[in-house]
Amino acid sequence: MSTAATEPASDRAKGDRTRGDKGEVLVDVQDLKVHFPIKRGIIFDKVVGHVYAVDGVDLQIRRGETYGLVGESGCGKSTLGRAILHLEESTEGTVTFDGQSLTDLGGEDLRKRRRDLQMVFQDPMGSLDPRQSVESLLVEGMKAHGIVGDAEAAMPRLKQLLSDVGLPAAALKKYPHEFSGGQRQRIGIARALSVDPELIVADEPVSALDVSVQAQVINLLADLQEEYGLTYLVIAHDLAVVRHISDRVGVMYLGGIVEESDAADLYANPLHPYTRALLSAVPVPDPDVEDTREQILLSGDLPSPANPPSGCRFHTRCPWRQESRCDDERPQLRLVEIDGTTGSHKVACHYAEQIASGEIQPHDVETQTEDKPKELREAEGDEVADDIPFT
Ligand SMILES: Nc1ncnc2c1ncn2[C@@H]1O[C@H](COP(=O)(O)OP(=O)(O)OP(=O)(O)O)[C@@H](O)[C@H]1O
Ligand code: SF4
Ligand SMILES: [Mg+2]
C-alpha cells in the first residue's frame, strides 16, 4: 500500500506535492488560436472555411488565483478552456504550464501532466457515467495516475474527498441518478480533486443548477481553493456568477479577450463598450441605482465566428465605433492608464481613453448584414438561392 493511499487528499495537497509561489504565473497562453475547419462534400472533404473559435488569445493565470472568463454563447470560452488543458488541438500559439510547454507535449509526458489539469463540466449528469458508482468514478483517475492501487486502499482518501465536498460517505455506493443536480456537481468536483490537480477549469459549473444551489457550489469551490491550494479558470456567460469568486476577470468576444483586469476594477470601471453593455444588462438590487444607471442595448446578434468582422470584431455592434480605424484595424489588448483604474487594466479598444473621458459619445448603430461567401453559408446549412442571371 502506498503512503499516499492512507493520506487524506487535503494533506497531500498541503504536503507531498511541491507547489510554487502563490502569485507567480502558472499558465501562460501566448497568441493562442483554435480554428475548426468547415468541410463540405461527400467524397472529398473540401475545406470551405474555418470557425475562428479562438483567434489570438494572450492570457496569464497566476498560481492560487481565480480567473473568471465571461462572454456570450459561442464566443469561444469552452474552446479556450479545452485548448489550455490540451483537450483541443491548437492551430497556433503556445500554452505553458508551470514553465513547461504543453503545446508540444504528447504521449506519456502529456498523460502524466493531465493529473495537474482537471476540468469541472457544466452538465454533471452528462459528464458522469451513469453506470459507474461514485466510488468507481472517483477511484478511476487515482488508479490511472498510480495514486492508489485499488478501491480498498483508496477508501480513506475517498471518504475525505466526499467530506470535503459536503457529501456523506454513504454516497460512495450510489449512482449519479440518485443525486440532485447540486450533489452531482459536488461529485464532479470531487472527481476533479481526486488526483490532486493544480489547475481546475470549471466550465459553466453552476449554469445548469437551480439558482438556490448555485451560490452553495460557488462557495464550495472557493473553500476548496484555499484548502487544496488550487488555481481556477472559471468560465461563465454571466458576469454576476464570476463576480464574487474571481480575482481577475477576462471578457471574451468572438475569439479574443477584449478586456481584463482585477475583478473589482472591472465591475467598477468597465472600459470596453462590450463589457459596458454586458454589465448594463446585470440587474442592480437598489431601485434608485437601477433607475439611473447606464443602459446599453446591443443591437444585432453575435456575428458568426466563421466570418468575423474586419478590424475590431465588435465594430458591427459598437455604439462608439469610429470610421474607419474601427473597421480596418484590429485593436490589441493593451494596458491603459485611466483615472480610477488600477495599473493592470487591459482593454482592446482603439478609443478606450476617449470613451472613458466622454470625448467620444455613443451613437445609434446601423445593423450591418454579413457578407458571407456562398460556400460558407451552404456549409453552415443556410438556405442559399442559386445565382440567377438577370434577363
Ligand atoms: N469541434 C468543433 N467543430 C467546429 N466548430 C466548433 C467546435 N467546437 C466549437 N465550435 C464552434 O466554435 C465556436 C465557439 O464555441 P465554444 O463552445 O467555445 O463557445 P462558448 O463561448 O463556450 O459558448 P457557450 O457559452 O454556448 O458554451 C462556436 O461557434 C462553436 O459552434
Ligand atoms: S475599437 Fe472601435 S468598434 Fe471596437 S470597441 Fe473600440 S470604439 Fe468600438
Ligand atoms: Mg461553452
Cβ of 312 closer than 6 Å to ligand 2, yes or no, is yes
How is residue 153 written as a grid cell?
486502499
Kindly list the distances between the CA atom of residue 369 and the CA atoms of 48, 72, 162, 312, 331, in Å, as whole numbers in the listed order. 21, 19, 52, 16, 22
Q: Which of residues 214, 246, 278 is at a domain's end?
A: 246
Instruction: Average the pLDDT over 286-294 and give the result.
Output: 66
* Ligand 2 closest atom vs CA 360: 7
CA of 391 to the centre of ligand 1 (A): 43
- Pairs from 207-213 (Cβ < 8 Å, separation ≥ 24): 207/122, 207/236, 207/237, 207/238, 207/241, 208/122, 208/123, 208/124, 208/181, 209/181, 209/182, 209/185, 210/181, 210/182, 213/180, 213/181, 213/182
**383: pLDDT confidence band, cut at 50, 70 and 90?**
very low
Q: How confident is the model at residue 174 (pLDDT cuts 50, 70, 90)?
A: very high
3-class secondary structure, 203: strand
Instruction: Indicate if ligand 2 lies below 6 Å from the C-beta of 258.
Output: no
Atom of ligand 1 lying closest to residue 79 CA: 18
Does any domain span residue 252? no
What pLDDT score does 67 carry?
98
Number of domains in the chain: 2
CB 171 within 8 A of CB 163: no
Distance separating alpha carbons of residues 78 and 65, to the nearest angstrom: 19
3-state secondary structure of 137: helix
Residue of the CA atom closest to atom 5 of ligand 1: 36
- The model's confidence at residue 239, banded by pLDDT at 50, 70 and 90, is confident
Q: Is 277 in the pocket of ligand 2 (CB under 6 A)?
A: no
CATH of the domain at 90: 3.40.50.300
Same domain, 63 and 163: yes
Residue 193 lies in a domain: yes
Contact 77, 69 (CB under 8 A): yes
**Over the stretch 127-167, which tens digit does the pLDDT of each residue have?**
899 999 999 999 999 999 999 888 788 999 999 999 999 99
| Alpha carbons 264 and 341: distance in angstroms, whole number | 10
Give the mean pLDDT of 225-243.
92
Rounded to 5°, the CA angle 131-137-139 comes to 140
Q: Which domain holds residue 177?
A: 3-246
Regarding whether 233 and 292 lie in a shared domain, the answer is: no
**Average pLDDT value for residue range 280-293:** 69
Do 147 and 276 lie in one domain? The reply is no
**Are 13 and 3 contacting, i.e. CB atoms less than 8 angstroms apart?**
no
Residue 13 has pLDDT above 50, yes or no: no
Ligand 2 touching residue 318 (CB < 6 A): yes
Protein residue whose Cα sits closest to atom 7 of ligand 2 = 321
Mean pLDDT for the stretch of residues 369-377: 54
Q: Are strands 248-253 and 256-262 parallel, antiparallel or unpaired?
A: antiparallel
Compute CA distances 261 → 56, 71, 265, 359, whole Å: 18, 15, 6, 23
> Do 216 and 346 sit in the same domain of this protein?
no
* Alpha carbon nearest to ligand 1 atom 18, residue: 76
